[in-house]
Amino acid sequence: QANDCSGLGAVVMQNAGDIVMLNGATNFNATITGNGADEGTFQINGTDIVLGGAIGTGNRLGTLKVNDGKSGTLNNTANVKAIQIGNGSTLTVAATKNVTAATVEGVALDQGTLSFAGASTAAIDKVGNGSKLNKVVIGAGEVNFSTTEVYKATTTHLAQGTSVVTFSKNAALELNT
């Protein structure tokens, strides 16, 4: 089947400068990790790309980037140093999947949408700190920003009557939305 990379087992970034870019719609079920902590960049350069394998287990991935006008879904756990979302782009976290990141930002100010399809733990230290996100969407269920100290998004949209957002870190929170 065209654009189906589901047969790959593991992608291991050997160096900080390593880049893997997916173009076109695809199912990508390989695990993605660095040979050492914070190595490599994985770029989504297509629409509706589904990342089915765990990301950053063992060694945290350096960067996950969604290029301008593109979209992807995290359909497994992800542990990434930096997530960057481009202009007109969306990164969706599937329901019950958890994401851990030091930062999630727009590639530039007021760019990118981070969407949670349902309940999730978002252990993201800083959301939109360097470049504020355009939008964060909370689907049905509770999204717990469990480690967040800074949260900046032009819009935070509670998309369902059952949508709940929680900030549970016992520390000061810089909130701008």
As a residue count, the chain comes to 177
Strand partners, 12: 33
Summarize the confidence of residues 100-129 as an average pLDDT: 97
Q: Which residues contact 1 (CB under 8 A, 6 or more apart)?
A: none
Cβ atoms of 44 and 70 within 8 Å: the answer is yes
Token pair of 133 as six digits:
């996100």
pLDDT, averaged across the chain? 93
Q: In 3D, which of 123, 77, 124 has the Cα closest to residue 96?
A: 77
Cβ atoms of 70 and 45 within 8 Å: the answer is yes
CA pair distance 4, 19, nearest whole angstrom: 19
For 1-53, the pLDDT digits (tens) are 556 666 677 889 998 899 999 987 678 888 999 899 999 999 999 999 999 99
